[in-house]
Amino acid sequence: MYRKQLFFFSACFILILTGCTQRNYIKEVPPQTSSTESQASSIVIRDYSEKPVTHPGITTSIKSYKDKNISIQYPAISNLKDKNKEEKINQLLKENALSLIHINSIDPIKDTVIIDAEIISADSKRITAVYTGTFYAEGAAHPLNFFYTNTVDLEQVKDLGLTDYADPETLAKYVLSDQVNFYNASPELTEALMEARTQMDLNSYVKIFQEADFPIKTKMPDGTPAFPDSFSYVDKGNIIFSIPVPHALGDFALVSYTPETK
């Protein structure tokens, strides 16, 4: 997604982005330096692997995958009575967290990826993790910001996605409406996002929401898998989901939607 997204937005939004200093994502991007190595060394990775947290019915922890210039955190669970199911759940969580490596053809020597994971919620029925970080591609003018999520149904050992919570067309109309609420965005950033969102039409939004989240459903024109353009999670009854935006606005924006049935 991120390689194709860069080309799509770079020509569309140069004028509307000037002066927008706040970015609509959780972590600040570190200042760029002259080499990938120095960029990577300036980022501190939190290691939660020694700090398990007990939730109703399960215990969670954060593990780290590291391969040269790639460092990705991912959640793991323990203390399930069914150890076979526990193993399958942990395998699914890890595979999803690391899937961006092969889907985006990331080279651990030439490129640099730093991803932090945060467990938003967990109990005996499901676990939700949010991933944020940066991707420094070799020769790129600037890093790209990653945002993705994963909600897993622990009873059925399967991924849950946006279409499990809401209708894609309803969400698309909401994004294009005057009532859209950009999550955690300043008034200045919101103004820029209100204009940026209109560069995609209703059908385009419907498609990316239909293909949001894991398991991977998005395909490139040649049929190869592509990282989704939208990810989501549920927080206190509100659906938080991402849409792609230009790099100067953060590469993604988060939208908060409250279902009428809440």
Cα(140)–Cα(201) distance, integer angstroms: 28
Q: What is the pLDDT of residue 56?
A: 81
Q: Does the structure show a pLDDT above 50 at 13?
A: no
For residues 55 and 181, which has the higher predicted lDDT (pLDDT)? 181
Considering the domain boundaries, does residue 9 fall inside one?
yes
Question: What range defines the domain where residue 184 resides?
Answer: 2-257
Share of the chain above pLDDT 90, in %: 74
What's the token pair of residue 74? Answer: 């991912």
Q: Look up the pTM and report it.
A: 0.83
Q: Does the structure show a pLDDT above 50 at 8?
A: no
Considering the domain boundaries, does residue 262 fall inside one?
no
Going by C-alpha positions, the residue among 27, 243, 225, 11 that lies closest to residue 135 is 27
Considering the domain boundaries, does residue 10 fall inside one?
yes
95-120 mean pLDDT: 96
For residues 44 and 86, which has the higher predicted lDDT (pLDDT)? 86
Count: domains in the chain:
1
Q: What is the pLDDT of residue 55?
A: 85
Q: Does the structure show a pLDDT above 80 at 10?
A: no
Antiparallel, parallel or unpaired: β 112-122 and 70-78: parallel
69-93 mean pLDDT: 97
Considering the domain boundaries, does residue 210 fall inside one?
yes
